[in-house]
Chain A
Amino acid sequence: MAQQVSLGSLQESEREAILQVLYRDREVQNTEAERIRNLKTRLQHLRWKGAKSVSQEYKEKSCARCQQTLGLLLNRGAVCQGCSHRVCSECRVFLRRTRAWKCTVCFEDRNVKIKTGDWFFEERAKKFPTEGKHETAGAKLLQSYQKLSNKISVVPPTPPPLSESQCGGGPARLQELGQFKGFNKSVENLFLSVTTHMKKLSKSQNDMTSDKQHPEMVPRQREGRPERRSQSDTAINVTTRAGTPDILKPLGPESPRRPTSPVLKQEDISSSPVLNTSFSGGLRQGSLISINSTCTEMGNFDKADVTGEIEFAIRYCLRTHSLEICIRACKNLAFGEERKKKCNPYVKTYLLPDRSSQGKRKTGVQKNTVEPTFQETLKYQVELAQLASQQLQVSVWHLGVLTRRVFLGEVIVPLATWDFEDRESQSFRWYPLRAKAEKSEDSLPTNNGELAVRAKLVLPAGPRELQEAPEGTGDEPSQNGQLCLVVLGAKNLPVRSDGTLNSFVKGCLTLPDQQRLRLKSPVLKKQACPQWKHSFIFKGVTPSQLRQSSLELTIWDQATFGVNDRFLGGARLGLKEDLPGGAHTSSQAKLQWQKVLSSPNLWTDMTLILH
């Protein structure tokens, strides 16, 4: 019987069991979230199709849904109770077994409310207005659990059954205990902290009759507490070894009953290749090169020697929410065509990182001069806050015959530190023109926004075996798992001129044998900060394979009318050394990726910088 098991070990199995349930629940919730998203997308499409909205005026006598002209006598249409639009008889849906009806859109709206469970959330909000809509208790518990495990940078799997009489000794050990105090909280305490606010609501809770069947439960629990605590401590020690090799040393011999095996295991770990890559790789920095500095004209222009200066002023108009660049003049420009002493200069600007044509502004072309005067103002509709992540690129070009262009020089102004309030910075200034920065000198990697993802390596083995994997049995290559990746959302993407995107995510997992597994998310339309919440599941991959693999996530703006999809940015995850000249993994991403691979069946949240 359950209560016969010593409470110490029950504690561990409890945590294990509850975590397993939480994970299973998460799977269910993820599936559900995807279904709901699909439903809502479909409704949105239907809304768009049905042209009439409340705000617009339409010709009186036509159906709001199909636009069919309504007659004066026949097919006069009727007003929908839901949206007050007049619709034809074709666009009505009769509610079952009643004579009541709704127009197709209202009916679908109602359907979606049923199917998504929104009706429930709306009802519930009456009592708990602050409750997040689809936030489940399980998700909250998991979150707090992961927060805790993040804090101490270890995953809390089941420890092997170490001796329960293990007592800490020695200063190093004590220090360790202090460091990981948070972990000593049992799962129950953790849950308690999550739900304290709920508990406040009810005092009757304690009135509940305690369990008749286990009268000895309560006193035993109390007795068991110190014992359980020491168990948790051992759990930390074991898992800590994987994460922080430095504080390992005093640990092994401390265990009185098992003097040999922990030491052996410890050695196994410190020689594990995983850890080595993780910690040496984590320090790599400074080689951050943009993988996407594909200037639109990159391959398609000539270069002249860069000379001269350009005069312009930058200001931000709060009233119109626009950035204004007043281009006044240039001097001492190089000749676009040196031999012919010809120069037809014009000025072009981008708000980097957006190099799309929507982000391009140009002045008119001045003919036959190296000292042109433009007196033109180029404007960008952009929120002030957004400018912090952007750079203004002002470049001068010569327009030759047959629209052949020659680069005459550029200025890049980082806007993050630009003081738009300051008068001084609003006045005209001369800026020396520079040659295009070589790729390697490009100190600031282009930041095309951030992508939030959540990843988990799912291994079919039971939790106990999982625990043993980093303990020394090594990475069984036979362990066939799957990599689950939830693409949550992205922000600060280089948006279109109208401030939106029809974006989607591509995931490409390149296995060691160069086999590529590709997946794609649905397109989210008209959103600047898309929240796809889409799951990519790469099946049949082993942990050891993944260590040699790289995962590339790229975000695209879906093309309209057959133009190519626009690349918005991408990020790469992988432990392997960077391919020469290829994409790279930032050191932070590398650490996070390492965490995903070394803590199977636990979700890791990551924010990836897009380049």
Chain B
Amino acid sequence: MASATDARYGQKESSDQNFDYMFKILIIGNSSVGKTSFLFRYADDSFTPAFVSTVGIDFKVKTIYRNDKRIKLQIWDTAGQERYRTITTAYYRGAMGFILMYDITNEESFNAVQDWSTQIKTYSWDNAQVLLVGNKCDMEDERVVSSERGRQLADHLGFEFFEASAKDNINVKQTFERLVDVICEKMSESLDTADPAVTGAKQGPQLTDQQAPPHQDCAC
């Protein structure tokens, strides 16, 4: 098990300082909803169908170019299992943004979203940016959570919403980039209200822009 983990996380992180700033992002959600796969798709563009439960916590580093800035993302992948909860919640405080994930083929994982959101409210800072992601949207045949329900819940909780598939690489990059953008917006807001300089192109309306398209690239 350890060796499997080692192999997967074996690459060295880039330790160069060639970036403008660093964001810390946490991926949370029930066990087996696809958090690790989602991260691997994004960071390494790889996908393994085999399920290996994450031990406690893990992270990957990816530097992206966004709004004329090089942003280093330290993306924390957490174990969904209850037994690791004390470890994983310790990381909530350091995170600027969250990806809260459920599995569209798993009702229980969707029902737990409310609880996860409470966890964020409890452990994280007040302006924590959260994106709700319904993963495995490639498995339309086994879908039990409609995207409408997902969207409604997201609206209710005040999160933005995407449906995605780590396996088919649907909306993965978009999810992370959107999260980076909303964190940038929060950052500008906290530094000087009504100063959108840092976020660059993204102006106010983007926040409420429900067109932000979960289905745009999604065939399902």
Name A residues whose Cβ lies closer than 8 Å to a Cβ of B: 1-3, 5, 10, 13-14, 16-18, 20-21, 24-25, 27-28, 31-32, 34-35, 38, 95-98, 100, 110, 113-117, 119-120, 122-124, 126-128, 131, 136-138, 140-141, 187-188, 191-192, 194-195, 198-199, 201-202, 204-205, 207-214, 217, 221, 462
Q: Does B198 contact A (CB under 8 A)?
A: yes
Determine whether the beta carbon of B55 is less than 8 Å from that of A34: no
- What is the number of residues of chain B that contact chain A, defined by CB distance less than 8 Å? 62
Q: How far is the CA of A275 from the CA of B106 in the complex (A)?
A: 56
Q: Does B216 contact A (CB under 8 A)?
A: no
Determine whether the beta carbon of B22 is less than 8 Å from that of A32: yes
Determine whether the beta carbon of B126 is less than 8 Å from that of A126: yes
What 4 A-B pairs come out closest when comparing CB atoms? A95-B197, A13-B2, A137-B90, A124-B125
Q: Which residues of A contact B192 (CB under 8 A)?
A: 110
The verdict on A96 contacting B200 (CB below 8 Å), with A17-B5, A124-B125, A128-B125 known, is: yes
Determine whether the beta carbon of A195 is less than 8 Å from that of B195: no
Q: How far is the CA of A369 from the CA of B83 in the complex (A)?
A: 85
Q: Which residues of B contact A202 (CB under 8 A)?
A: 89, 118-119, 122-123
Beyond the given A96-B200, A97-B196, could you list 12 further A-B residue pairs with CB under 8 A, ordered by the A residue number? A17-B1, A17-B55, A25-B74, A98-B196, A114-B198, A115-B21, A120-B187, A122-B190, A191-B87, A205-B119, A211-B81, A217-B83
Distance in angstroms from A115 CB to nearest chain B CB is 5
Distance in angstroms from B149 CB to nearest chain A CB is 17
Q: How far is the CA of A452 from the CA of B59 in the complex (A)?
A: 29
Q: Which residues of A contact B198 (CB under 8 A)?
A: 96, 114
Determine whether the beta carbon of A195 is less than 8 Å from that of B87: yes
Q: Does B204 contact A (CB under 8 A)?
A: no
Cβ-defined partner of A128 (8 Å) among B2, B87, B93: B93
Q: Which residues of B contact A208 (CB under 8 A)?
A: 82, 85, 112, 115-116, 119
Q: Which residues of A contact B87 (CB under 8 A)?
A: 18, 141, 188, 191, 195
The verdict on A21 contacting B59 (CB below 8 Å), with A1-B51, A110-B191 known, is: yes
Distance in angstroms from A394 CB to nearest chain B CB is 51
Question: Which residues 157-195 in B have Cβ within 8 Å of A in the complex?
Answer: 186-187, 190-192, 195
Surface stretch bound by A, among B12-20, B38-46, B132-140, B207-215:
B12-20
Determine whether the beta carbon of A205 is less than 8 Å from that of B59: no
Determine whether the beta carbon of B30 is less than 8 Å from that of A195: no
Q: Which residues of B contact A201 (CB under 8 A)?
A: 122-123
Q: Does B6 contact A (CB under 8 A)?
A: yes
Provide 16 A-B residue pairs closer than 8 Å at the C-beta atoms, listed in order of the A residue: A24-B13, A38-B17, A110-B192, A114-B20, A116-B21, A123-B126, A123-B186, A124-B93, A127-B125, A202-B89, A202-B118, A202-B119, A204-B119, A209-B108, A212-B30, A213-B31
Determine whether the beta carbon of B86 is less than 8 Å from that of A137: no
Question: Which residues 1-59 in B have Cβ within 8 Å of A in the complex?
Answer: 1-2, 5-6, 9, 13, 15, 17, 20-22, 30-32, 51-53, 55-59
Cβ-defined partner of A114 (8 Å) among B21, B55, B118: B21
Q: How far is the CA of A195 from the CA of B85 in the complex (A)?
A: 10
> Which A residue sits closest to B184, measured CB to CB?
A114
Q: How far is the CA of A25 from the CA of B106 in the complex (A)?
A: 32
Determine whether the beta carbon of B56 is less than 8 Å from that of A27: no
> Which B residue sits closest to A96, measured CB to CB?
B197
Determine whether the beta carbon of B17 is less than 8 Å from that of A31: yes
Q: Which residues of A contact B187 (CB under 8 A)?
A: 114, 119-120
Q: How far is the CA of A13 from the CA of B109 in the complex (A)?
A: 27
Q: How far is the CA of A180 from the CA of B55 in the complex (A)?
A: 26
Q: Which residues of A contact B94 (CB under 8 A)?
A: 136-137
Determine whether the beta carbon of B86 is less than 8 Å from that of A199: yes
Cβ-defined partner of B195 (8 Å) among A27, A95, A210: A95
Q: Does B146 contact A (CB under 8 A)?
A: no
Determine whether the beta carbon of A117 is less than 8 Å from that of B93: no
Q: Does B101 contact A (CB under 8 A)?
A: no
Determine whether the beta carbon of A18 is less than 8 Å from that of B57: yes
Determine whether the beta carbon of B51 is less than 8 Å from that of A204: no
Q: Does B96 contact A (CB under 8 A)?
A: yes
Name B residues whose Cβ lies closer than 8 Å to a Cβ of A: 1-2, 5-6, 9, 13, 15, 17, 20-22, 30-32, 51-53, 55-59, 61, 74, 80-87, 89-91, 93-94, 96, 106, 108-109, 111-112, 115-116, 118-119, 122-123, 125-127, 186-187, 190-192, 195-198, 200
Distance in angstroms from A214 CB to nearest chain B CB is 8
Distance in angstroms from B107 CB to nearest chain A CB is 10
The verdict on A21 contacting B58 (CB below 8 Å), with A28-B13, A31-B15, A201-B122 known, is: yes
Q: How far is the CA of A32 from the CA of B24 in the complex (A)?
A: 12
Cβ-defined partner of A198 (8 Å) among B81, B89, B190: B89
Q: How far is the CA of A198 from the CA of B93 in the complex (A)?
A: 10
Q: How far is the CA of A192 from the CA of B59 in the complex (A)?
A: 20
Q: How far is the CA of A217 from the CA of B6 in the complex (A)?
A: 23
The verdict on A119 contacting B191 (CB below 8 Å), with A209-B108, A209-B111 known, is: yes
Determine whether the beta carbon of A211 is less than 8 Å from that of B195: no
> Which B residue sits closest to A29, measured CB to CB?
B74
Distance in angstroms from B196 CB to nearest chain A CB is 7
The verdict on A16 contacting B191 (CB below 8 Å), with A98-B196, A209-B111 known, is: no
Q: Which residues of B contact A131 (CB under 8 A)?
A: 93
Q: Which residues of B contact A212 (CB under 8 A)?
A: 30-32, 106, 108
Determine whether the beta carbon of A120 is less than 8 Å from that of B96: yes
Q: How far is the CA of A211 from the CA of B85 in the complex (A)?
A: 12
Determine whether the beta carbon of A2 is less than 8 Å from that of B86: no
Q: Which residues of A contact B196 (CB under 8 A)?
A: 96-98
Q: How far is the CA of A13 from the CA of B2 in the complex (A)?
A: 6
Q: How far is the CA of A3 from the CA of B22 in the complex (A)?
A: 35
Q: Which residues of B contact A24 (CB under 8 A)?
A: 9, 13, 59
Distance in angstroms from A118 CB to nearest chain B CB is 10
Q: How far is the CA of A128 from the CA of B127 in the complex (A)?
A: 13
Determine whether the beta carbon of A205 is less than 8 Å from that of B89: yes
Distance in angstroms from A590 CB to nearest chain B CB is 31
> Which B residue sits closest to A208, measured CB to CB?
B115
> Which A residue sits closest to B111, measured CB to CB?
A209
Q: Which residues of A contact B58 (CB under 8 A)?
A: 17, 21
Q: How far is the CA of A95 from the CA of B200 in the complex (A)?
A: 10
> Which B residue sits closest to A35, measured CB to CB?
B17
Determine whether the beta carbon of A207 is less than 8 Å from that of B21: no
Determine whether the beta carbon of B61 is less than 8 Å from that of A10: no
The verdict on A204 contacting B191 (CB below 8 Å), with A10-B1, A21-B59, A217-B81 known, is: no
> Which B residue sits closest to A14, measured CB to CB?
B55
Cβ-defined partner of A207 (8 Å) among B13, B84, B115: B115
Determine whether the beta carbon of B195 is less than 8 Å from that of A98: yes
Distance in angstroms from A343 CB to nearest chain B CB is 63
Q: Which residues of B contact A38 (CB under 8 A)?
A: 17
Determine whether the beta carbon of B55 is less than 8 Å from that of A13: yes
Q: Which residues of A contact B106 (CB under 8 A)?
A: 212
Q: How far is the CA of A138 from the CA of B32 in the complex (A)?
A: 24
Determine whether the beta carbon of A195 is less than 8 Å from that of B56: no
Distance in angstroms from B10 CB to nearest chain A CB is 10
The verdict on A198 contacting B85 (CB below 8 Å), with A96-B197, A114-B187 known, is: no
Determine whether the beta carbon of A114 is less than 8 Å from that of B82: no
Q: Which residues of B contact A119 (CB under 8 A)?
A: 187, 190-191
Q: Which residues of B contact A95 (CB under 8 A)?
A: 195, 197
Q: How far is the CA of A123 from the CA of B94 in the complex (A)?
A: 12
Determine whether the beta carbon of A194 is less than 8 Å from that of B90: yes
